[in-house]
Structure 1
Amino acid sequence: MCHSAEGLPPAPPEPKEVAGHGPLTLTSADGTAVPAYYALPAGPPRGRMVILPDVRGVHPYYTALAQRFAEAGFATIAVDYYGRTAGAGERDDSFDWQRYLPSVRPGEVEIDVAAALAHLSGHTTSPAYTVGFCFGGSQSWRLAASGLDLAGVIGFYGRPSLVEDVVGSVTKRMLLLVAGDDEVTPRQEFEDFAARLTEAGADHEMRIYESAPHSFFDRSSGEWAQACADAWRRILDFTRPSS
């Protein structure tokens, strides 16, 4: 599982302005009411960002992260996985995600992301991206093979085994941000995954953070501050409009 954290990792200075943020309910294509959280930038958006959380769903960590992305210029929505099973409700540290996670299906994640993108299109039609963490990292990478209108997908320490079946169908740019000492997935699995993406002709970039543990980006320890800052910079570079 991924670890809870008290704060967000440090990052280079950014405009600290958000036009609005708060809970949101999306309606997915199958009629599901999807719990979500939105945050909008104060100025013209540089892009749309859909956050795919770890197994905890829209935990308070991800509501804060949505605001951080908005501060960086993204119209952002974090989507929850459990509307079909747990319904609405708080996804705090007491939420029993283990009960509901086995019921989450990639196809349902995709249509929920589609609903988030459609909602954000009401604010901006700028390029759209997904960023995911742990379980959400895998789901984000999978969307590189989807028909969604995405300029790219980003994943932190996902599980390659959950993406293998779509490697040959990847059409979107991919950014893989990997913990070098991931206790959930051995490093070799990530390296093999990158090799298969290369063989398939997929446009991808992988950065391995030496000695960093699984879920390093959402740990409060300052030990991983440099890795966190580098990962954030890579996200901003990956989503920067080409001139």
Structure 2
Amino acid sequence: MTTLTRPDAVPEPADFHLSRRMAVSMFFAGYALAAWSAEAAPITTPEGGLVIDEVLIPNGAPHPLPAYVARPKAKGRHAAVIVANEIFGVHAYIKDICRRLAREGYVAIAPDFFYRSGVNLPALTDIKAILPVVQQASVEQVDGDVRATSAWLKAQPFAKPGAIGVTGFCWGGAVAWRAAMTDPDVKAAVAWYGQLKPLVARAGELHAPVLGLYGALDQGIPQTDVEAMRAALKAAGKPAEIVVYPDAPHGFHADYRDSYREADAKDGWARLLRHFRANGVS
């Protein structure tokens, strides 16, 4: 439970920040064990020059939404990016993504969308045990958590309320697409290999431009789905671009897995930065 730091009973945004000592057990300290590759050499972004925090976001649930935050130490307001995780939750890779974005000048925040289950997903080694937990997080629930996160960002003195973007990986890629449909505060989104089939019929709901980054060798997202989404976006006249890397599998940005493809990951990251800056998330 978060203890209010002031004598009155009306909470302010600062009341939902946790001390580092209180927060150490909120998130798994390492990489997702179910996907970790012993041969991997994951990127590690240092915390120096950044403010690292773990916060609790009011979202209407009995227990608030935990989130990992990385932001520049520099004073003033910064554009913000919500980072939607893979099925493994907020582990070392997702936290490093936040720090990379913070070094680019962003407030980066990764909500723990699966916290209601009470299961430490990154610590699990069996994908069969992970999937039921992920499936419990409904579309409506997750999209509501995204809106709660953008509302929290708008209340922070270090965030620009009119410059919020979303990026997501794998499971979180679909979250990013939907955020550009359902959250009016989201100005742009970048989806890394998120499932498209359930979203093709909703292409007309997009209100913010989306950049989709996909691999032609992805066994779970066939190119027929990519082409169907492209056609739906064109028919709806919606601002979106889908880039397909011909030699990339699913998870090509995940540098802690053997699916990692360095050149494609770097190109995708550069495109992400350009997309956000070109669409008001800067």
TM class by shorter-chain length?
0.7 to 0.9
Residue pair 1:52, 1:133 contacting (<8 A) in 2 also: yes
Partners of 1:216 and 1:228 within 8 A in 2: yes
- Which residue does 1:25 correspond to in 2? 56
Aligned residue in 1 for 2:66: 35
Greater strand share, structure number: 1
User: Does structure 1 retain, via aligned residues, the 8 Å contact 2:147–2:183?
Assistant: no
Answer whether contact 1:7 1:218 (CA < 8 A) is retained: no
- How far 1:103 sits from its partner (Å)? 1.2
1:84-233 mapped onto 2 (5 Å cutoff): 84-86=116-118, 90-94=120-124, 96-121=129-154, 122=156, 123-125=158-160, 126-220=162-256, 224-233=261-270
Give the superposition deviation at 1:7.
5.0
SS of residue in 2 equivalent to 1:84: helix
Unaligned runs of 5+ in 2: 1-33
- Any stretches of 5+ residues in structure 1 without a counterpart? none
CA 1:18–1:190: 2 relative to 1, 3 Å: farther
Q: Kindly indicate whether structure 1 or structure 2 has the higher relative contact order, using CA contacts under 8 Å at least 6 residues apart.
A: 1
By how many angstroms is 1:29 displaced?
3.1
The Cα of 1:224 is off from its aligned counterpart by 1.5
Report how far residue 111 of structure 1 moved.
1.8
Which whole-Å CA distance do the structure 2 matches of 1:110 and 1:222 have between them?
28
Flag as ranges the 4+ runs of structure 1 deviating above 6 A: none
> What number of residue pairs does the alignment pair up?
238
In structure 2, the residue corresponding to 1:213 is in which secondary structure?
coil
Structure with higher Rg: it is 2
Is the Cα contact below 8 Å between 1:3 and 1:215 reproduced in 2?
no
Q: Which residue of 2 aligns with 1:50?
A: 82
* Aligned: 1:81 with 2:113: yes
From 96, 103, 125, the counterpart of 1:71: 103
Cα–Cα, structure 1 residues 201 and 21, in superposed 2: closer, same or farther, change >3 Å?
Answer: same
CA drift at 1:145: 1.3
Summarize the Cα distance change of 1:99–1:139 in structure 2 as closer, same or farther, 3 Å threshold. same
The alignment-based identity, stated in percent, is: 23
Structure 2 counterpart SS, 1:152: strand
Question: Is the 1:133–1:156 contact (alpha carbons within 8 Å) kept by the matching residues of 2?
Answer: yes
* Matched letter for residue 116 of structure 2: R
Q: Alpha-carbon deviations, 1:127-151, whole Å to 9, x = none?
A: 1100011111011101221143111
